Amino acid sequence: MGPAWGLFVVLKGIFEGYGDPLFVVTDAVVRRKVYPLVKPLLPAHKLLVLPAGEGAKVLDEVARIWTWLGAQGADRQAVLVALGGGAVSDVAGFAAATYLRGIRWVAMPTTLLAMCDAAYGGKTGINLGGAKNQVGAFWAPEAVVSEPRWLETLPYGELLSGWAEVLKHALLQGPEAWARIRTMECDDAAGWPYAIALSQEVKQRIVAEDPREQGLRRALNLGHTLGHALEGFFLHAGTPILHGQAVALGMLGEAWVAHRQGACGAELLAEIEEAVLCQYPLLPYEKADIAALVRLLAKDKKRLGTQLRYVALHQPGRYDIDATLTPAEARQAFAYLM
């Protein structure tokens, strides 16, 4: 009895009691790389294939899912399955939230980022007019099925992107998780089951305390204040970088600020520096670009009036979600990251 049998039993348990057919939405790459492994384990289903990547997160593709469901006679009892990365789960989850005012859906994430982050928390949505996640809904999946072996075909860059969230979750969890994760490498398959289980636990715990992002959930923004500015800068420069690379370097920059403010000890800062820089290269910006990076921070959704906010790490598992940083501190942090 191989591992596929175990997965078959899990899927059977989840899908038992759901009417058939299931409606499976995936993307063109996952259709080739993962769907062949899953197809024999799924009950009777229809399949819709979207473009890979952010091209799936557009209104036209949502309309295509709605129209397809309608044409297949999907009713209120229908169950949508999102098989793919965060782009597929965001758009398919949003279609499920809105079709017939909401039908059930199941996430089957196939990227490290989706297994560790996007499939949990109930946020669904699409991009609009160049703005990320401009339209969406909170609509949690009924179940999430993760199988680490599906990551075997995922390119290294995508693993690296998801790993930044794993580092973040370990820092939010506590000393034991951080000690274990900080020496692991993103492409070491032996570490995936622990990294995924840890991330699910941390994200689900924090989301359960604050499902609508009113307060505590801001902890999940660790690294994202400086990270979003870095991501935005390189996007505008026409040389986009991986979200995970921006978040990893953002976490390091923010730990440096927290250290300067007396919150984060030198030892933890050194550990974060080692964990980040051994996998993520520094970014090619120059001193003259720092003013533009700081200007991007002023557009951060998390700011309070003119105050820049970030999550200040004190120790693994201890942090302040209402910390602030000055433009001068931000400038120095970007200089430190060069």
Ligand X SMILES: NC(=O)c1ccc[n+]([C@@H]2O[C@H](COP(=O)([O-])OP(=O)(O)OC[C@H]3O[C@@H](n4cnc5c(N)ncnc54)[C@H](O)[C@@H]3O)[C@@H](O)[C@H]2O)c1
Stretch that binds ligand X, among 74-82, 113-121, 178-186, 289-297 (CB under 6 A): 113-121
The only residue of 84, 223, 232, 316 in contact with ligand X, by rule CB under 6 A: 84
Q: Are 28 and 52 in contact (CB under 8 A)?
A: yes
Establish if 227 lies at the interface with ligand X (CB under 6 A).
no
End-to-end CA distance of the chain: 52
**How many chain residues bind ligand X (CB under 6 A)?**
31
The only residue of 79, 86, 283, 313 in contact with ligand X, by rule CB under 6 A: 86
Rg (CA), the chain: 20
Of residues 86 and 271, the one with the C-beta less far from ligand X: 86
Site string for ligand X, 117-156 (x = CB under 6 A): xx--x-x--------xx----------------xx-xx--
Of residues 84 and 227, the one with the C-beta less far from ligand X: 84
Of residues 216 and 292, the one with the C-beta less far from ligand X: 216
Nearest residue to 200 (alpha-carbon basis) of 169, 159, 163, 162: 169
Establish if 94 lies at the interface with ligand X (CB under 6 A).
no
Amino acid at 7: L
Q: 3-state DSSP call for residue 269?
A: helix
The only residue of 15, 24, 27, 106 in contact with ligand X, by rule CB under 6 A: 27
Class of residue 264 by CB neighbours under 10 A (exposed 0-12, middle 13-18, buried 19+): buried
Nearest residue to 186 (alpha-carbon basis) of 143, 247, 145, 106: 247
Interface with ligand X in residues 298-317 (CB under 6 A):
none
- From residue 100, alpha-carbon distances to 64, 125, 154, 254, 313 in Å are 15, 17, 34, 44, 43
Positions touching ligand X (CB under 6 A) are 27, 29-30, 33-34, 52-54, 57, 84-88, 90, 110-111, 113-114, 117-118, 121, 123, 132-133, 150-151, 153-154, 158, 161
